[in-house]
């Protein structure tokens, strides 16, 4: 199976989760790099403050790992940022049918039960509850909101 590595994630797609809480990544986003043998492409899923799941492709996981390596053990704020992000994150493989599994915790955070919207943001994509997404598009996000996770991302340059 080919999966998008380095390609742009653009567009908006509505998908229904299957009985195992898997969502299919759009075929448009699954081209570029062939996966050999049993090796599987992985994605990092993070709950975002606005109530959706941010999905980072494998090459961005490598970038995050490089950023984390640069944080000194004596940097208390940096170590707290790493802890905040890593305990919230989930790394999942993409199966041969182009699906990723969402944990109950991430689904609850985003309010996803069955219907989801996958929205491309060029280098990443987001998974939303369909109603929340429509409200966000209609009303926009409150740009003044900030929280610990956002601060942790900034601290690590993400």
DSSP state string for 106-132: HHHHHT-SSEEEEEE-BSSEEEEEHHH
What's the predicted TM-score (pTM) here? 0.78
Please tell us whether the domain made up of 2-155 is placed in CATH 3.40.50.150.
no
pLDDT digits (tens, 9 = 90+) for 18-54: 999 999 999 888 765 455 555 678 899 999 888 999 9
Per the model's pLDDT, the better-predicted residue between 87 and 117 turns out to be 117
What pLDDT does residue 129 have? 95
Residue 67 and residue 45: Cα distance in Å, rounded?
Answer: 17
Q: For residue 96, report the phi and psi dihedrals to the nearest 5 degrees.
A: -65, -15
Buried-state track 31-42, b at ≥16 Cβ within 10 A, e below 16: eebeeeeeeebe
Contact in structure between 118 and 126 (CB atoms under 8 Å): yes
CA angle 133, 135, 139 (to 5 degrees): 125
Residue 147 and residue 66: Cα distance in Å, rounded?
Answer: 24
């Amino acid at each position: 199976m080919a999966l998008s590595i380095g390609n742009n994630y653009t567009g908006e797609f509505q998908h229904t989760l299957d009985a195992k809480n898997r969502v299919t990544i759009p075929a448009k986003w699954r081209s570029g790099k062939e996966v050999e043998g049993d090796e599987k492409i992985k994605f990092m899923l993070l709950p975002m403050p606005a109530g959706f799941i941010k999905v980072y492709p494998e090459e961005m996981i490598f970038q995050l790992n490089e950023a984390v390596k640069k944080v000194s053990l004596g940097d208390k704020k940096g170590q707290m940022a790493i802890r905040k992000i890593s305990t919230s994150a989930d790394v999942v493989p993409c199966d041969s049918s182009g699906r990723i599994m969402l944990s109950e915790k991430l689904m609850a955070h985003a309010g996803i039960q069955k219907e989801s919207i996958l929205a491309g943001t060029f280098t990443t994509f987001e998974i939303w509850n369909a109603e929340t997404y429509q409200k966000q598009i209609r009303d926009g996000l409150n740009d003044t909101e900030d929280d610990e996770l956002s601060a942790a991302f900034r601290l690590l340059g993400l």
